[in-house]
Structure 1
Amino acid sequence: MSNDIRLVVLDMAGTTVADDGLVERAFGAAAGSLGVETGSAEHATMLEHVRATMGESKISVFRHLFGEEEKAQRANTAFEAAYHDLVDAGHCAALPGAAEAIAELRGQGRKVVLTTGFSRSTQDRILAALGWQDIADLTLCPAEAGRGRPYPDLALAALLRTGTDAVRQIAVAGDTGYDMLTGTRAGASVVAGVLTGAHDEQRLRADGATHVLKSVAELPALLGPVG
């Protein structure tokens, strides 16, 4: 598949970084800090929303769940603290073939940008745990782009920051429907869903995936040489 893709925008948790339930565990701590009991009907309803909106900016999720800004901020702070503890305890690993795929994409002459729905502090915690501070050309979190997923801002900010010429030169890859919506709304030519994270092929295609891959390791071969 020879083409003119010059910029590859990659999600982190579930796409290049193993999640292994860390988001849900950190959410449990966040909800508990606001008095939501694990195993309760309220907790189950909230967890269903968290799963459906995987990929979205976490503060946006908490604003939806708790309504009041003060509660949302408290939940977000608790979530980040719990997630950081899990990362620091060693519960953070690259998905098989992810680092090699990023290196190959850059070796093909493409820019690679890592994006997330986490805050900058959480993103940096993950990058440091993996030794990935210099693995990509750029890393972006929602606060640095304007809005998080499912809006196109992260992909468009990546385009602007890397000096990419046109939206048709973008490929977006992620494990959630919101990643797919980000790619389609940004006008990316390739919007690739991967099956290593939150959502299944049906959800990925429903939200605009042009391709569905077993993992991000297949992406360099899909894109092929720069055309």
Structure 2
Amino acid sequence: MVELAVLDMAGTTVADDGLVEAAFLEAVAGRSDVDEMLVHVRATMGESKITVFRHLFGGDEDAAQAANLRFEVAYAGHLGAVTAIPGAAETITALRSAGVKVALTTGFSRPTADAILSALDWTGLADLSLVPAEAGRGRPFPDLVLTAVLRLGATDLRQVVTCGDTTYDVLTGLRAGAGTVTAVTTGAHDATALSAAGAHHVLSSVTALPSLVL
């Protein structure tokens, strides 16, 4: 019996119609190396956003923090583009009704995560939501999954399932030792990349998760 499902937000349970890239472009507008930066952003989708900006700005903490703030403001300013992946809310409800605890995780800050949950009327939908600052480190480190395990009282990592749309989501699940690491093709990376990253199962949507694990 699966005890805990750790689900990514943007691209997995939440659709934002490319808003991450659009907000990033606003955050670094005017720079001559935007195209090179965008390549890195696409490759590291799922990683903590501040970590991405630290890399892009060569460790300049002030510049990274300022860019991250611009990114968060830009993203929050377009929350009207954020919608639920069709059937995602029902999937979370079905898992919880079957006795599975559900944690939603994201690379965004807490204010942005809360704004997304509020915009979707998802506050309280899952048992827990987590952002990198609350876990220690973001993806691809295992901290988000392991923090969910601790906070929700899961007893066996073999009974934990993770689900995300990026290779970093897959790597996080594998590093955490989750018994079932799944990926979906509704977000940033395609089935080939997700399989190559080591996903145990690649699904067309998070809605296929209950029939797989219950």
3-state SS of 1:113 partner: strand
Alignment partner, residue 76 of structure 2: 84
Given the two structures, how large is their TM-score scaled by the length of structure 2? 0.98
Q: With structure 1 as the length reference, what TM-score do the two structures score? A: 0.92
Deviation at 1:132, TM superposition (A): 0.4
Find 1:63's aligned residue among 54, 73, 77.
54
User: Matches of residues 162-201 of structure 1 in structure 2 within 5 Å?
Assistant: 162-201=152-191
Q: Give, in whole Å, the separation in 1 of the partners of 2:206 and 2:91.
A: 7
Q: Deviations over 1:70-117 (max 9, x none)?
A: 110010000000001001xx1110010100100101111100000000
Q: Deviations over 1:18-46 (max 9, x none)?
A: 021100000001011xx31xxx5x11111
Q: CA deviation at 1:58?
A: 0.1
**Aligned equivalents of 2:141, 2:78: Cα separation in 1:** 28
1:118-157 aligned at under 5 Å gives the runs 118-157=108-147
Alignment correspondent of 2:40: 49
Q: CA offsets per residue over residues 36-76 of structure 1, 9 Å max, x none?
A: 1xxx5x11111011011000000000000012111100100
Q: Distance in 1 between matches of 2:16 and 2:40?
A: 17
1:29 to 10, 21, 26: 26
Partner of residue 14, structure 1: 11
Structure 2 unaligned runs (5+)?
none
Structure 2 residue matching 1:56: 3-state secondary structure: coil
Q: How many residues align?
A: 213
Cα displacement (A) at 1:166: 1.6
2:211 paired residue number: 221
Contact persistence 1:102–1:112 (CA under 8 A): yes
d(CA) in 1 for partners of 2:114, 2:100:
23
Contact residue 19 and residue 197 of structure 1 kept, 8 A: no
Per the TM alignment, residue 207 of structure 1 is displaced from its structure 2 partner at its CA by 1.5
Sequence identity (%): 62
Give, in whole Å, the separation in 2 of the partners of 1:49 and 1:19. 19
Does 2:195 match 1:205?
yes
Residues 136-174 of structure 1, C-alpha deviations (whole Å, 9 max, x = no match): 000000000010000000000000000110211110000
- Once superposed, what is the RMSD of the aligned Cα atoms? 0.8
> Aligned to 2:97, which of 107, 132, 148?
107
String of CA shifts for 1:165-222, please: whole Å, max 9, x gaps.
Answer: 0211110000000000000001111111100000011111121200000000000011
Which amino acid is the alignment partner of residue 85 of structure 1?
G
